[in-house]
Amino acid sequence: MGKIKKKGTSGNAKNYLSRSQAVRKLQISLPDFRRLCIFKGIYPREPRSKKRVSKSSTPSTTFYYAKDIQYLLHEPLLAKFRDQKALAKKISKALGRNEVGDAARFEKNLAPKLKLDHIIKERYPTFVDALRDLDDALSMLFLFANLPSTQNVPPKMIARCQRLTMEFEHYLIRTHAVRKTFLSIKGIYYQATIQGQDILWLVPYRFVQMAGPDVDFRIMGTFVDFYATLLGFVNFRLYTSIGLVYPPRFDLKSEEQGAELGAFQLEGEQMEAQAEAVGMLDVDAHDKAQAQADRLLEEADPEQIGEPQSSYMTAPETAEQQDTDMDDTLVPADQSQEGTSQTPLAALDEFASIDPKADTLLQPGLTADADVAGKLFEPFTFFLSRETPRHSLEFLVKAFGCKRVGWDNTLGEGAYCNESDTRITHQVVDRPELPLPSPPPTDGEDEGEVVSSKSNVRVPGRTYVQPQWVWDSINAGKLQRADLYAPGATLPPHLSPWVKPKKGQYDPTVPLAEQETALEAEQEAIAAEEGEDDVDEGSSGEEVEGVRGDEEVEALEHSLLSGNAITQGEGMDVALADSDSESELEAEPIEDDEFGGFSSASEVDEEESATTAHQNELLAEARGETIDEPKITKKTRIAAAKSRQTKAEREEAEQKERQKMMMPRRKRKMYEKMVYSNARKDEEAEELREKRRKIEKGKAGRA
């Protein structure tokens, strides 16, 4: 007989540990265990069967891998946590003996400092790994940078987040790495491309943030500590990669006066300017030396010029030299050595789809995106009005090439100009339509000269746009029409640059007539006809000349109710069918070729309703009563248009039903879910188109 295995020593029970077991094994408190797991990137795991994993009668809810807990046993931070626990005991004993000075001294001198540098190096062995995990870090740090200081969120944490995020924004401004941005309900989305990695983060609007009681700031603060260390490493690597000194010089006085981005001074610009000046001097010296050599060559006797020199100049390139030139083509144009040929960028492969109905394949982007982005707003001078989001607009216009941005002095120092400066080309406002000044200012003013103007008066020669113009121009990659974004104008739809419209879905940028279905077009035509040709509801119809006798009326009623044949000639002659005719009709055989199939329920109902209406009309005419004209309402016509199906549509539906019957049950359920979700999307698109149709009709009516 084999040895009986003890429960919990093999299988899934050995691979998993509950949270209480992990805390006892590490000998730390639950809050410290949570902090350690956040720092090390260890998260709870869901086993397939909790009953098999549980080692006790009470079922646990949170499990971890046993190997992860074993890995935490060798973490140096455990010693720091134990030192903090020992220090807390000393401070509590000192306070119990009323030794407040000793307690303060213990907290100041003996508090262990946690360093997460080794954890950053462990979790991100390469710099690309750190960039890929930067989305959540930026979103969290930008969130805490905009929070007010409270008991749970100390001012030091907020100041640290603000400084790190603005340092990252300075790098984006310098390298023109921002690609897309979007104004949403949650906040402002930004996307930047750094070393081939797309980074997307969310920045909340600068409103007063009210933190709810259900938010655990201890856990969020732990994430902030880790993300702040990570962003510090990333900023250092990014700054040194472009030749800047990190950290940049920070002016605390300018920051207190609201300079924000202007409080940082990037060191390295002066060094580059000096190097550029030295380079220009070298170029000038080289040109002078070359000109002198050419002049001496022209003055010399041609016979004294040796042939070896001419043969050397005309000799073909060697294989080694050709290889060198090929390597030089991989160097960017601004870094290529003097004398190498400036070759254009290699053409990228374009992936064409074989199926025309398939989704559009993403094409590779060009490497010149930074150059294009750096020249979008370069020739302009912006002024940001008080009501506009100054920080986000300043960051975006500078990231896309603008170096001259001004704002009101009350918002903070560091502005390039004030509102009355004549060098301003674009002013971003979020107010109603601004009137022109009366009288207009005189012409012939010098550049940079101050013009007396008010904030609610339009300055001639200056383009006024709403803030959305900046975002839409960035997403489109080109400047949009400024008249569509004028103050007081109805703005175009602001769409997400990451969502591409698909076939059948609503697209605000496409005219309504191009995307509505055939049924919607028919309903719109019916509605237009009903609006133009309204039927007079007060008309009483036609009146029959003459009155028929009671006998004739009774015979007509009897014939209609009994279903006999009716013949209409000059008068109203009624012929009752005898039994012989009925028997002949019943005995007449029906040929197989004339069978037209079974009629649908809707077709039978339509035929019966038409027959009943005709009978009622004949009865009213026989009695000498007025005949009301049958009025087909708009609702009836639309319902008929919806129920009408072509033969091809019916055949296609039947074919799909037959194919669905041949599917396995699991795939059939999946297909039905897909059909249901597509139908819901079609309904939402139809509602949006109907809403847009009503808005356009309202605009046309007001016009």
Listed by start position, the domains of the chain span 12-75, 117-269, 371-437+453-485, 520-527+633-703
Q: 295-343 pLDDT, tens per residue?
A: 543 444 443 333 333 333 333 333 334 333 333 333 333 343 333 333 3
Backbone angles phi, psi at 321, to 5 degrees: -70, -35
Question: Which one, of 499, 494, 501, lies nearest residue 685 by Cα?
Answer: 501
pLDDT at position 570, please? Answer: 41
Which residues in 208-334 belong to E strands, given as ranges? 249-250, 264-265
Question: Which one, of 356, 432, 353, lies nearest residue 387 by Cα?
Answer: 432
Distance CA 475, CA 472 (A): 5
Distance CA 457, CA 682 (A): 47
For residue 406 the two structure tokens come to 């001004």
- State the pTM of this model: 0.67
For residue 81 the two structure tokens come to 């946590």
Distance CA 685, CA 515 (A): 10
For residue 5 the two structure tokens come to 């295995």
Distance CA 147, CA 155 (A): 10
Distance CA 553, CA 123 (A): 99
pLDDT at position 258, please? Answer: 85
68: amino acid identity, one letter? D
Indicate the angle between helix axes 100-109 and 77-96, nearest 10 degrees: 170
Contacts of residue 521, Cβ cutoff 8 Å, sequence gap at least 6: 513
Handedness of CA 131, 157, 245, 121 (dihedral sign): negative
pLDDT at position 193, please? Answer: 94
Question: What top-level class would CATH report for the domain 371-437+453-485?
Answer: alpha beta
Indicate the angle between helix axes 77-96 and 30-40, nearest 10 degrees: 150
- In three-state secondary structure terms, 111 is coil
Handedness of CA 623, 628, 632, 636 (dihedral sign): negative
Distance CA 494, CA 485 (A): 12
Distance CA 137, CA 150 (A): 21
- Residue pair 693/524 in contact (Cβ under 8 Å)? The answer is yes
Question: Which one, of 431, 423, 453, 430, lies nearest residue 441 by Cα?
Answer: 453
3-state helix, strand, coil in the chain (%, to 5): 50, 5, 40
- Residue pair 52/12 in contact (Cβ under 8 Å)? The answer is yes
The kind and range of the H/E element at 127 are helix 127-132
Which residues does the chain have with pLDDT short of 70? Answer: 1-2, 8, 269-368, 436-455, 518-519, 522-523, 528-611, 614, 624-648, 703
C-alpha distances out from residue 694 to 121, 181, 687, Å = 59, 30, 11
How does strand 426-428 pair with strand 382-384?
A: parallel
Question: What top-level class would CATH report for the domain 12-75?
Answer: mainly alpha
Distance CA 205, CA 215 (A): 19
